[in-house]
Amino acid sequence: MVFNSIAFLIFFPIVLLLYRVIPVKYRWIMLLAASYYFYCSWQADLLYLILFTTVVSYLCSHGIAKTNDPKKKKLYLIIALVASLSVLFFFKYFNFLSENVVNLLKLFALPVSDFSLKLILPVGISFYTFQTLSYVIDVYRGNIEAEKHFGYYALYVSYFPQLVAGPIERPENLIPQLKTDNKFNVADSTVGLKMMMVGFFKKIVIADQLSKYVNAVYNNLGTDADCANGFTVVLATVLFAVQIYCDFSGYTDIAIGCARCMGIKLMQNFNDPYSATNIKTFWRRWHISLTSWFTDYVYIPLGGSRCSKARHYLNIMIVFLLSGIWHGAAWTFILWGVVHGLYQIIGDITSKPRSAMWKKLNVDEKGPFVTWLRRILTFCLVCFAWIMFRANSISDLGKLISTLFTGWGGLSISASLDSMGLSLTGIIITILSIILLKILDEQIETKAVPTEAGKGLSVERANAYVFVCWAIAIAWLILLRNNEASSFIYFQF
Amino acid sequence: MNELTIFKSSLFLILVLVTVLLNTVCFIVKMTMKGKKVGRFEISDIISVVNMIVHAVIFFGLLLYTVFEPNGSLISEEELLIVMLLSSVLSMLISNTGREDK
């Protein structure tokens, strides 16, 4: 059951209604049942995995809380980590690893045959695994107390709005809210519905519309429909940057909006990432819950930046390598992570010389010129890395990169646009959608939300939202008619 | 060309003009008649509601026609989307103008 489906549009109001009707004492039962039903609508046969991870982490956290022996505490922690990570590893990385081991052995002319298991990647496994890990580690560190009520803990792991694609919530934020008697209030509902609307707009009007142009370039390499040249690769990559942002942040907005309608505040996951003036800031604004997870549970325990320069850079590389692997079992994702790690390290090394250069040129480093230059450069670097993220294989990546640098001879822009299926109508829709996206995003980020929450919507603003809803309805109709409605990109992680 | 063909080919432009015109009226009324009321309601709110109703009537009609008469549709869904996006952008900008929190 994806958010952008009729089934969800029926499911959510029913859950919301039951949430308001059922006494607070029993709400967790309804929410847990709804969350498991939501998960089962994807993969009922893999529900046992989420149950297994939940039970093991619950028991281990209790073991940690009950004992005073540091060795036993550590043992329980290791059991929880091994159990959760081995499930993740087996389903997500086993085939990738076996394939690479076989290829490596073949390089040495050893007699090995291909070996892979028919495994289905469980939806949202990376998200809920990380959520259980953060809980057990926090209990071990003494940051939080172990949750006694199994029902609330199971609900924390499987709470349906953020179950399959985050945000990766922290126990100290979500569990107390699940227990609170969140009474209905207009402000929360207004903000929640508005965020859901913005999320649907991002997904249906922008991401799904752009995906067909991106796919035309990235999915047809080496086929008769191959339309890759320097221009189309650049354009498709820029459009992919917008697509993945709208797809993922759209999902997050809907998730946050759903929870907000129940009075539950999930953490922010995006903060205008493409306005970042360097890669470091980009990662503070993109997938914030994952970045903060890696910071708290990997980067800082490794020593963070409070160590030698070499060690600091190694820590950065480890974190980004893990981030790449987390996204998927493919060399393209690993390369994407490594490139982002290198960006950060190079950015740190060149930071002082760049400042000295601006001083020498007598240009204000914090002025609009340098700020915009940095924004554009950061966006270009991020887009270059997106090529690795989006490429279907390493060989495709090689073709795309070589086309990017060599495929500029004798190309016709109008023919290139035609080959991508991008008509004048498509261009106008894309431009208007992006302008509207910018306005909607700013409204979420500025003071407009609390003001509206306090005073209620003005007639003009309500009018504007009605128009956005119309646009969503029409775009949805187009997708349904052409069978182009798609799942969210981050569901595969 | 018969009259229907001319109407079909120019319907998109007519809708764009209607949208721009309605939103311009909303903007002018908002700027010039701030706080003025007819009975209990502010004039700018009334114009906004009129804008919304006009759009709803036009678009609901056209959308139904497009869905149920795909071969003889007056306008494509993509063109409808363009007009609605344009209307959303304009009305968002109007509602943002003069907000206290901006």
CA A451 to chain centre: 28
Q: C-alpha distances in angstroms, A304 versus A318, A338, B77?
A: 11, 17, 53
Side-chain half-sphere of A305: how many Cα atoms within 13 Å?
Answer: 4
State yes or no: pLDDT of B1 exceeds 60: no
Task: Report pLDDT for A450.
Answer: 47
Residues 6+ apart with CB under 8 A from A166: A127, A252, A255, A269, A287, A289, A290, A490
Task: Report pLDDT for A52.
Answer: 93
Q: How far apart are CA A203 and CA A490, in angstroms?
A: 12
State yes or no: pLDDT of A31 exceeds 90: yes
The predicted model gives A33-38 an average pLDDT of 93
The predicted model gives A332-344 an average pLDDT of 94
State the CB neighbour count (10 A cutoff) for residue A351.
12
Task: Report pLDDT for A4.
Answer: 75
State yes or no: pLDDT of B3 exceeds 80: no
User: For A369-386, how does the pLDDT look when each residue is reduced to its tens digit (9 = 90+)?
Assistant: 889 999 999 999 999 999
Number of A–B residue contacts, CB under 8 Å: 99
Tell me which residues of chain B have a C-beta less than 8 Å from any C-beta of chain A: 26, 30, 42, 44-45, 48-49, 51-52, 55-56, 59, 63, 67, 76-82, 84-89, 91-96, 99-102
pLDDT bin (cut points 50, 70, 90) of residue A229 is confident
Task: Report pLDDT for A281.
Answer: 93
State yes or no: pLDDT of B100 exceeds 60: no
Determine the residue among B81, B96, B102 to mutate to test chain A binding: the one whose Cβ has the most chain A Cβ atoms within 10 Å: B81
Mean per-residue pLDDT of chain A:
87
Q: Which range has the top average pLDDT, A225-229, A281-285, B41-45?
A: A281-285
Q: Which range has the top average pLDDT, A114-128, A150-164, B88-102?
A: A150-164
Read off the tokens for A109: 């002319």
Partners of B38 in beta bridges = B41
State yes or no: pLDDT of B89 exceeds 50: yes
Q: How far apart are CA B82 and CA B75, in angstroms?
A: 11
Contact call for A466 and B84, based on CB within 8 A: no
User: For A76-115, how does the pLDDT look when each residue is reduced to its tens digit (9 = 90+)?
Assistant: 999 999 999 999 889 888 888 888 888 888 888 777 777 7
Contact call for B88 and A464, based on CB within 8 A: yes
State yes or no: pLDDT of A338 exceeds 60: yes
The distance of A466 to chain B (nearest Cα, Å) reads 8
Least confident of A295-299, A420-424, A467-471, B31-35: B31-35
Contact call for A464 and B80, based on CB within 8 A: no
pLDDT bin (cut points 50, 70, 90) of residue A453 is very low
- Torsion angle (degrees, nearest 10) of CA A287, A211, A430, A162: -30
State yes or no: pLDDT of B74 exceeds 80: no
The domain ranges of chain A are 6-181, 187-492
Q: Which residue type is seen at A186?
A: V
pLDDT bin (cut points 50, 70, 90) of residue B102 is very low
Contact (Cβ atoms closer than 8 angstroms) between residue A340 and residue A385: yes
Task: Report pLDDT for B5.
Answer: 67
State the CB neighbour count (10 A cutoff) for residue A160.
24
Least confident of A180-189, A195-204, A207-216, A251-260: A180-189
Q: How far apart are CA A226 and CA A219, in angstroms?
A: 8
pLDDT bin (cut points 50, 70, 90) of residue A451 is very low
Identity of the residue in A460, A461, A478 whose CB atom sits nearest the CB atom of B78: A478
The domain ranges of chain B are 3-92
Confirm whether A327 is a catalytic residue: yes
State yes or no: pLDDT of A445 exceeds 70: no
Q: How far apart are CA A295 and CA A168, in angstroms?
A: 13
State yes or no: pLDDT of A355 exceeds 80: yes
State yes or no: pLDDT of A60 exceeds 90: yes
Read off the tokens for A194: 């508005």
The predicted model gives A34-53 an average pLDDT of 89
State yes or no: pLDDT of A53 exceeds 70: yes
Contact call for A429 and B51, based on CB within 8 A: no
Q: Which residue type is seen at A79?
A: I
Task: Report pLDDT for A91.
Answer: 87
Task: Report pLDDT for B45.
Answer: 77
Which residue would you say has higher pLDDT here, A212 or B63?
A: A212
| Percentage of residues in chain A having pLDDT higher than 70 | 95
The predicted model gives B18-43 an average pLDDT of 79
